[in-house]
Amino acid sequence: MENDKEMQNTDPLIRTKLRLPFTRTELVARPRLKLRFAEGLRGPLTLITAPAGFADCEMLVAWLSLDSGDNQAGRFLNYLVEALINADGMVRREAIQLLSASQEVPFEVVLTSLINDLDAAGGEIALVLDDYQFISSQAVHTAVAFLLEHGPKTLHLVIAARSDPPLPLAKLRARGQVVELRTSDLRFTVSKSTQFLNEVMGFRLSASAVAMLEERTEGWIADLEEAVNSLGNF
């Protein structure tokens, strides 16, 4: 974090990075996916390696949308701490103060302060790191691994990326501490596509038309909507 101090003191946080993106109310019930997601929120890590998507949960959510600028460890930690403070008012700002101290503080000290606050607060919280594929910094990966290893049982990390991040996944898998949602888990099946197109969108498409659209869009709801808006006569 040695080159991050000046940036921390001059660059304000982009508040929209800390807000959940707009999502429609779920229109097609997906109990199997919800069950898998709920299973993940009972452990330290849920890994979503698929195009963008996030399942609702019934606990506090700290959201951080990542970009390439977050490879600066100090910037990343500032956003991470602020996201958790926004979600749970019981988290103190001591970690932020440590980050802005005139003398460089090791990331372990900052995260230890944060972890102790979260443990004392006691509330269940989901920390979502969206678009983690933008992170290439080993320092950031190390910080996230530290949080996974030492975080309280009430903290549940959700990482959304396009591929497996370089975190200690083998260890977490061996411990049964990670639930992984892949492309096949998130996209619509033909039956769900039929329900969405005919019951939700109000079309009366034949089975063959639905199958064609499902194959063309690979079952992604946003692509289904775009395709159906350009439909001619079937």
Fold that domain 5-186 belongs to in CATH:
Rossmann fold (3.40.50)
Percent of the chain with pLDDT over 90: 46
Euclidean distance between CA atoms 43 and 54, whole angstroms:
17
77 against 28, higher pLDDT: 77
Q: Which of 1-15, 48-62, 216-230 has the highest mean pLDDT?
A: 48-62
pLDDT tens, position by position, 181-230: 876 666 666 677 777 777 766 777 778 877 777 767 655 555 666 666 66
Instruction: Give the H or E element holding residue 155.
Output: strand 155-161
| Winning range, highest mean pLDDT, from 148-152, 177-181, 228-232 | 148-152
Q: Which residues contact 70 (CB under 8 A, 6 or more apart)?
A: 76, 79, 134, 135, 140
Structure tokens at 185: 């888990």
Q: Which letter, b or e, does each residue of 52-69 get, where b requires 16 or more Cβ atoms within 10 Å of its Cβ?
A: ebbbebeebbbbbbbeee
Instruction: Compute the distance between CA of residue 143 and CA of residue 158 in angstroms, rounded to an integer.
Output: 15
Could you state, in order of their start, the residue ranges of all structural domains in the chain?
5-186, 190-229
Residue 7 has pLDDT above 70, yes or no: no
| Number of CB atoms found within 10 A of residue 212's CB | 14
User: What confidence tier does 12 reach under pLDDT thresholds 50, 70, 90?
Assistant: confident
Tokens of 157: 């990390």
